[in-house]
Structure 1
Amino acid sequence: MSEYSSGLIRMTTVAVPARGAVVLAKAGVTAALWTAVGAVVSTGGFLVSGGPGHAAGRGSAQRPGVLRALAASALLAPVCALTGLGLGALIRHSAATLVSSAFLPVTLPPIFSQSTRWSAAVSHAMPVTAGKRLVQTWTPDPDSLAYSATVPGSWTVYALWPLIAVALAVVVVRRRDV
């Protein structure tokens, strides 16, 4: 949200004093735009990679897990965008928001290995790790801690990250002076 650094947020809040409504409107537009972008990119990647005619006599879209992987790939974009929007409203500084948006979902998961249960649990709570599980079309080894990452749990991670980020942003901008 570069409005804070440029000062345009003052004009927005004068025009629409309900700051929470402004954040929710931005979240709606962001979700719609990035869902469309994610759908185009994931579908385009699937088609370019030879997806529909890949298997002889049976399209790869009919294989188990492929549609889930396409949906997960398409939805990763709005999950990250809405999380970034929430962080931007909370932090109010462009550089710090960019660093936080890159650090949280991308850099943080590899720090937490699959070697201990608590570390694996933290890793599974990250959107990138959840996305990896959702695009995985094979069952992981039952002896590994990666097996504990379930498909419903991964969808839950996809839902909670943007919901929590936007909800916190709405609460904070309602209470904070601009």
Structure 2
Amino acid sequence: MTPTTTQPAAVSTAVRAPVPRARFRDLLAAEWIKLWSLRSYAWAFGASALVVIGINISAAVADYKNWPTYNEGIRALFVPIWAMRDAFTIGASMVLILATGSIGALMMVGEYSTGQIRTTFAAVPARRSVVAAKMAVVTAVMVVYGTVVAGTSFGVTQAVLSGRDIGLSLDHPGAFRAVVASALLAPVCALIGMGLGALIRHTATTIVTYTGILLLLPFLLNDRHRWSSAILHALPHSAWERLVQVGDPFESAPYPATLSGSWIVYAAWPLAAAVIAMTAVRRRDL
């Protein structure tokens, strides 16, 4: 009888190396690629910029042509009030608000609608870091976008009006503030759109809600009553209107907005949107 020998089975004790955590700059690079991988975003930036600048230039050209027909009362008020309004018209601001807010919302909602957000969070479980990277990239892009649009609008419109000697220079009191406020309106609105997108997670509902709050609500309020003016002045569009106005007698209004209060509104809305987005992606399931 042949004796059998029992050999102990070899046990694999190989230890898997821990997967390194994604660095924040890697998340920024990923979100940058996501933003520009779709041509629709580039088209949205380009088309909206042309529309906004075109509306403002059209207003300046109209005033340039109609200047000989204006009476003395209009001419007395034109510089600086109307000249600045030509650079930053209400219609152009509404287009800018809608375009930038929609782009910001789609940057957040788009991944939820396609299901790509599951892959993203599986690769990077730190959800708040992903959202922070998204917001950082969108903020940087929107600052550049807003600066180009606001700077071009001011420069071209005032160059047109200078043909009648009614243009403003950048060093005119309040002019630089107006350009900065118009430039920052883009990232402010984009971040608000992202916050709503993270909370609602549905494209149509997000854009409708965003439009209702930022574009429709201001038309339902006035500054004749304290409660109404308080809500009105707390909205981004109303804050922008105060910041871009020069030479207007705001003190004559019953409850006028202040420059400091308008800047606070500019800071509070994006901060609130960031907090909402961070909380929503962490506490809610996909």
* Superposition TM-score, scaled by structure 1 size: 0.93
How much has 1:69 moved relative to structure 2?
0.1
| SS, match of residue 62 in structure 1 | coil
What is the aligned partner in structure 1 of residue 262 from structure 2?
Answer: 154
Higher relative contact order (CA 8 A, sep 6+): 1
What is the aligned partner in structure 2 of residue 111 from structure 1?
Answer: 220
Cα deviation 1:29-83 (Å, max 9, x = unaligned): 0100011000000001111112599496x96111100000000000001000000
How much has 1:140 moved relative to structure 2?
2.7
Q: Would you say the 8 A contact 2:226–2:255 is kept in 1?
A: no
Cα deviation 1:116-164 (Å, max 9, x = unaligned): 11000000000000000000112434231352x1001000000110110
What is the aligned partner in structure 2 of residue 142 from structure 1?
Answer: 251
How much has 1:8 moved relative to structure 2?
0.8
Q: Would you say the 8 A contact 1:51–1:60 is kept in 2?
A: no
What is the aligned partner in structure 2 of residue 120 from structure 1?
Answer: 229
What is the aligned partner in structure 2 of residue 175 from structure 1?
Answer: 283
Unaligned runs of 5+ in 1: none
- Structure 1 counterpart of 2:140, from 3, 18, 32: 32
Unaligned runs of 5+ in 2: 1-108
What is the aligned partner in structure 2 of residue 66 from structure 1?
Answer: 175
What is the aligned partner in structure 1 of residue 272 from structure 2?
Answer: 164
CA RMSD of aligned residues (A): 1.8
| SS, match of residue 251 in structure 2 | coil
**How far apart are the structure 1 equivalents of 2:159 and 2:210?**
32
What is the aligned partner in structure 1 of residue 27 from structure 2?
Answer: none
**How far apart are the structure 2 equivalents of 1:175 and 1:20?**
11
**How far apart are the structure 1 equivalents of 2:260 and 2:283?**
34
Cα deviation 1:60-116 (Å, max 9, x = unaligned): 111100000000000001000000011000100000111112111111111111121
User: Is 1:95 matched with 2:204?
Assistant: yes
Instruction: Call closer, same or farther: CA 1:59–1:133 in 2, change over 3 Å.
Output: closer
Q: Would you say the 8 A contact 1:86–1:166 is kept in 2?
A: yes
**How far apart are the structure 2 equivalents of 1:135 and 1:59?**
13
Instruction: Call closer, same or farther: CA 1:51–1:164 in 2, change over 3 Å.
Output: farther
What is the aligned partner in structure 2 of residue 45 from structure 1?
Answer: 153
Please say which of residues 98-107 and 66-75 is displaced more in the overlay.
98-107
Instruction: Call closer, same or farther: CA 1:70–1:14 in 2, change over 3 Å.
Output: same
Aligned length: 176
What is the aligned partner in structure 2 of residue 23 from structure 1?
Answer: 131
**How far apart are the structure 2 equivalents of 1:162 and 1:145?**
28
| SS, match of residue 173 in structure 1 | helix
**How far apart are the structure 1 equivalents of 2:240 and 2:207?**
21
Letter in 2 for 1:168: I
Letter in 2 for 1:82: L
Letter in 2 for 1:80: C
Alignment of 1:66-85 (within 5 A): 66-85=175-194
